[in-house]
Amino acid sequence: MSIIARRLPHALLAAALLLPSGAVASAVAPKTAAASSALPAAAPGIAATNPYAFVQVAAGDYYSTALRADGSVWAWGRTLFGELGVLESRVTSDIDRPVRLFGLPAIAAISTNGAGTQAGVATDGTVWEWGSRGAVQGGTTLPTQIPGLQDAKAAVPGFALKKDGTLWRWTYEPQAGDKPKIAVAQIAGTYRFASMTAGGDLVYAIDGAGAVWGFGAIRESGGSGLAILTPARLAGFPAMKQLSAYQDRLVGVDTAGRAWQAQLDFNALYQQAKPGAVKVKGKPTRFASTLKAEEAEIASFGSVLIRTASGEVWTTNNWLTGKAGKIGGWSGIREIAAGYHHGLGIDSLGRLWGIGGNQWFEAGSPQRERRADAIQACARAAGDRRTGRRQAARLGLSGGDGGGSRLCAA
């Protein structure tokens, strides 16, 4: 396994210029962007024959993370606030190619809240979390096991669903020393969620009938404490199979392959003494009606990536690539993800591709300019093992053989 990072001179320069502080993991759920199995149904043979194939990808604000068939987790992009989970200290502000996270067992599925925190369900059913500490619930930089959680079906940052239908949440409570205490508690009830996806500190779930639910955790008015929002149904959606959230926008695809969008009403969260449930403002509406959609992932400024049944990827406006329409260079794509200003895709061979903004190398290109057409995100990781070892050592990343030649799946 290789650990390849940036050249030290650039890294030290980036560290010197640091400024002060800004998809669900499901081991058993059906293949969607919000809930991907360890071996996605779209290409089970690839994962079985090539352990270096990428099988799941997630994106957030200026960073990216991906899961390989061998259960290893890789990350790249901005790590200014510890988003990637690979460095506890601020050695560098960004990493320009995928590096492996250490301290994790074999992972079955990953998720992100888009704001810097990631979660994973291990093949043994344990739950892990890593990334920045900006979430309401607290957070951890390097991978940390959430204590007491076993037999998990799915997890997003701050929340996990067990196979028995019980829903659990955790927070990080300050204590003496540098390491906070992780407090785990059950949320009342049992739930038949097929998938979950997180957007910041809120979570959106689809149950077995395709109904959409919302829950999460927010700071109470005045910052006096943490309020846990129990699951409540969001009205107006048809039977859905996939969701993606960004700020007050929720998009997704129904079981008939139609793309839907909705604006969320957060007034009840902050404008009353006791926080209420998230609601849909008005009614959900259809968009991109000419496409037979499999997946819709929302970025910033209303831009949505849509993956079709044929493996094409389209964008709804010019925010990501400079123009709306079909994205060039992508074909046979079986999974996508969208961050604030970039998009990612995995093709049928398990190769990873990126488009859009690349200010922090989040799209995977060695140049920082926006990518209008797709580039293979891990292509520049290929190199000799000695170079890989030296680069890893300079950033304090130990372990692995430094061999980037096997990082790209094919």
- The two structure tokens encoding residue 181: 């205490």
Q: Could you tell me if residue 242 is inside a domain?
A: no
- C-beta separation of 353 from 98 below 8 A: no
Residue with tokens 């709306």: 324
| C-alpha to C-alpha distances, 344 to 58, 261, 293, 388, nearest whole angstrom | 8, 20, 17, 24
Helices (H), 170-259: none
Domain that holds residue 151: 8-234+297-406
**Per-residue model confidence as pLDDT tens digits over 336-391:** 999 999 999 999 999 999 999 999 999 987 777 776 666 777 644 333 333 334 44
Cβ atoms < 10 Å from Cβ of 143? 20
Helix axis angle, 385-394 to 8-16, nearest 10°:
20
**Per-residue model confidence as pLDDT tens digits over 319-341:** 998 999 999 888 899 999 999 99
Q: Could you tell me if residue 112 is inside a domain?
A: yes
CATH number for the domain including 213? 2.130.10
Q: Could you tell me if residue 2 is inside a domain?
A: no
Identify the burial level of 310 via C-beta atoms within 10 angstroms of its C-beta, where 0-12 means exposed, 13-18 middle and 19 or more buried. Answer: exposed
Q: How confident is the model at residue 410 (pLDDT cuts 50, 70, 90)?
A: low
- Interval 88-103 mean pLDDT: 86
Q: Could you tell me if residue 376 is inside a domain?
A: yes
Residue 68 has pLDDT above 90, yes or no: yes
Q: Could you tell me if residue 259 is inside a domain?
A: no
Q: Could you tell me if residue 260 is inside a domain?
A: no
Q: Could you tell me if residue 136 is inside a domain?
A: yes
pLDDT at 139: 55
| Amino acid present at 29 | A
Number of domains composing the chain: 1
